[in-house]
């Protein structure tokens, strides 16, 4: 699949990551590995049904910060803890 940085093959189909719009004030999480129908390289509408709300915002789950060894990664990590109450951070460096 050309132009996709990550592709997963599940049950004979290709799955790629897509971002979807969520109304302000709602915190949702997509079920892991749920395929979304649509042509690769085009945006698709993601049904809101079946999404799971995250109680208490970001502080109730684990957050992955990539590129965390740089200056910006440290700022983001501190912000997540201080402002959003995140208690479980996974800091990953690209090096």
For 25, what's the count of Cα atoms within 13 Å in the CB-facing half-sphere? Answer: 0
Q: Is residue 49 domain-shared with residue 59, that is, in the same domain?
A: no
| Residues of the chain above pLDDT 70, percent | 52
Residues 57-92: pLDDT tens digits? 555 667 888 887 777 888 888 888 887 778 888 888
Q: Specify the number of domains making up the chain.
A: 2
Q: Is residue 38 domain-shared with residue 63, that is, in the same domain?
A: no
Q: Which domain holds residue 8?
A: 1-53
Full-model pTM: 0.40
Residue whose tokens read 């109450």:
85
91: Cα separation from own chain's centroid: 15
Q: Is residue 49 domain-shared with residue 62, that is, in the same domain?
A: no
d(C-alpha 65, C-alpha 71), whole Å? 12
- Does 28 have pLDDT greater than 60? no
Q: Is residue 61 domain-shared with residue 79, that is, in the same domain?
A: yes
What pLDDT, on the 0 to 100 scale, is given for residue 77?
84
d(C-alpha 54, C-alpha 37), whole Å? 25
- Does 56 have pLDDT greater than 80? no
d(C-alpha 16, C-alpha 8), whole Å? 7
């Amino acid at each position: 699949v050309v132009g996709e940085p990550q592709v997963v093959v599940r049950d004979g189909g290709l799955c790629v990551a897509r971002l979807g719009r969520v109304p302000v004030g709602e915190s949702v999480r997509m079920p892991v590995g749920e395929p979304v129908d649509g042509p690769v390289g085009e945006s698709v509408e993601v049904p809101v049904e079946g999404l799971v709300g995250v109680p208490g915002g970001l502080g109730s789950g684990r957050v992955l910060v990539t590129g965390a060894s740089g200056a910006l990664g440290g700022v983001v990590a501190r912000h997540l803890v201080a402002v959003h109450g995140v208690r479980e951070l996974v800091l990953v460096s690209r090096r």
